[in-house]
A and B are shown apart, each in its own frame.
Chain A
């Protein structure tokens, strides 16, 4: 039987995690390894012993807390994290460059589109991506000399329904804004529907941009910073495989590998639309 890697995911049929798994699978196959995807049971428990019986484990997003990661990586079991970080135990991670991506979105919004009053739709507050993207958004506002107004930071939790409810409440409160920056593109698509319901034209009256990209974003004409999610899976698997074999066998990796993002301009942020 071929040696196998484990990949622990909490949403393996979702768009994001499916793409990550595809990338990891490519690398595993090229290294003559099988890849088994595990997900939490109905009670939220993950079969860590099964994962520990494999050659190494990839852990996707925040499916395991730090204590569980400690158990998983105990005794030198190789672990790499994807879109998540764990300071203790210090495990290697592969992440998108959230700072670069958010800076690209704000530069586009301000310099290209002439928008200066953005609303920010947060992600799930315990997730690293959500924390880093909000921090980077705040830094970008400062760089562009724009005021930081806490009433323009609204809840999204990486859940489209929650994001839609938040923007609806924001609109009903009479708040005025000229753009929306969303921490995840699926939330942004639900926000586009709400803006339409309120009779607001995108991009003429409100510009919408979001982090992450996929076929749904392309279909909706949503401007995004594209983070190559399949590549994220590939890089994570490479990092894990490097801990298993080759010249550097047994080398405990530390730190985080960051992948670059690129801006994808589509209809929701057409340049030259904003009034003078």
Chain B
């Protein structure tokens, strides 16, 4: 292919994305409005709209009103979220869970598989494949692509997991392997980054869409993801990894801290086998001093990470995801207070704190990544 032809194709792809995005966001719903909104000529819009109609991604929905000058009533256009479906898969230390989603983020089925200690490339590939296979028969529309979110360093462009200690992966070409198996494009990203992307793309619990969202995910290993509204950028895991690692926020460090506190708080829930964050929250609420102390110490540790993120990334929202989200609103208030002690209250005036809105956020982030790569939506 010549360079000129390649550029033409890229330009056409970009224009198509502009048109689709305007329709997806409801910013324009006629050919004339699309031309005004995107700055593209009417013949270009007409060709792109014809293509999108043929692909079934948009539909004509009757006639609108004439302009003030009169004339022919324009044909109304609408995006069709049900035209394609995507599969988003999130891999965590203990399970793989996937969602089957329409283009508007509505989930029609979920599928999950316990990992039962499976680690390493072949086992992970088999588990992800099983989850996609489980969702495949439930699709009601052609599948567009597959997204995969997992903890660790990920080379998104190549679809290669460079390193994931918790999953035992090193230079694993998960994306190409899955794409070959399923015959669909597959996009791979870091779990925390995709949690942030998913929350921005499909909305948080309070319905707000912050400009810049930083998501701190604390499961077996802590991680950071940052996503910005209006752009396709998501990053963070490279930035914060070493800093977060030093704060003692991985699950084993939390358990060690709980064990230390249990010695000085006899009868506390901290002495329980298989302690979980939810137990800590419950016990603290019912007056367990050990559990309350653990929450406070965790908030103090995490506040250092949050302070660093606030100063470096300057997000408009900090979101807590992963298992630690089970500590709930009381913990969020502790965290805010501890953070204020480090950075000053004025820094927090423009920042909201929230909990990740859904346990399936990683998988929804993978859907968002796949949509973004394939259609330029929904950023």
Partner of B134, one of A142, A253, A259: A253
Q: Is B137 an interface residue (CB 8 A)?
A: yes
Contact mask for chain B residues 92-105; partner A; CB cutoff 8 A; 1 contact, 0 none = 00001000000000
B130 touches A255 (CB 8 A): yes
Output the least CB separation between A62 and chain B (Å). Answer: 20
Q: Is A139 an interface residue (CB 8 A)?
A: yes
On chain B, which size bracket covers the interface? 20 to 34
B134 touches A255 (CB 8 A): yes
Partner of A258, one of B112, B282, B326, B328: B112
B107 touches A242 (CB 8 A): no
Closest residue of chain B to A246 (Cβ to Cβ) is B137
Q: Is A257 an interface residue (CB 8 A)?
A: yes
In whole angstroms, what is the CA distance A141 to B138 when docked?
Answer: 33
Q: Is B157 an interface residue (CB 8 A)?
A: no
On chain A, which size bracket covers the interface? 20 to 34
Chain B at the A interface: mostly helix, strand, loop or mixed? helix
B134 touches A254 (CB 8 A): yes
In whole angstroms, what is the CA distance A253 to B136 when docked?
Answer: 10
Chain A at the B interface: mostly helix, strand, loop or mixed? mixed
A145 touches B282 (CB 8 A): yes
B133 touches A253 (CB 8 A): yes
In whole angstroms, what is the CA distance A191 to B232 when docked?
Answer: 54
In whole angstroms, what is the CA distance A235 to B139 when docked?
Answer: 10
Partner of B278, one of A143, A147, A260: A143
Output the residue of A145, A259, A260 with the most chain B CB within 10 A. Answer: A145
A257 touches B286 (CB 8 A): no
Output the least CB separation between A214 and chain B (Å). Answer: 22
Q: Is B347 an interface residue (CB 8 A)?
A: no
Output the least CB separation between B113 and chain A (Å). Answer: 4
In whole angstroms, what is the CA distance A92 to B138 when docked?
Answer: 13
A143 touches B134 (CB 8 A): no
The B-contacting residues of A in range 65-115, CB under 8 angstroms, are: 92, 97
Determine the chain B residues whose CB is within 8 A of the CB of A260 once the complex forms: 107, 110
Q: Is B233 an interface residue (CB 8 A)?
A: no
Output the least CB separation between B171 and chain A (Å). Answer: 26
The A-contacting residues of B in range 298-343, CB under 8 angstroms, are: 326, 328
In whole angstroms, what is the CA distance A238 to B130 when docked?
Answer: 16
A258 touches B134 (CB 8 A): no
Q: Is A239 an interface residue (CB 8 A)?
A: yes
Output the least CB separation between B282 and chain A (Å). Answer: 4
Q: Is A193 an interface residue (CB 8 A)?
A: no
B278 touches A139 (CB 8 A): yes
Q: Is A197 an interface residue (CB 8 A)?
A: no
Partner of B282, one of A142, A241, A259: A142
- A residues with a Cβ closer than 8 A to B are 92, 97, 139, 141-143, 145, 147, 235, 238-239, 241-242, 248, 251, 253-260
Apart from A238-B138, A239-B137, A260-B107, what 4 extra A-B contacts exist at CB < 8 Å?
A92-B134, A142-B279, A145-B286, A257-B134
- B residues with a Cβ closer than 8 A to A are 96, 107, 109-113, 130-131, 133-138, 278-279, 281-282, 285-286, 326, 328
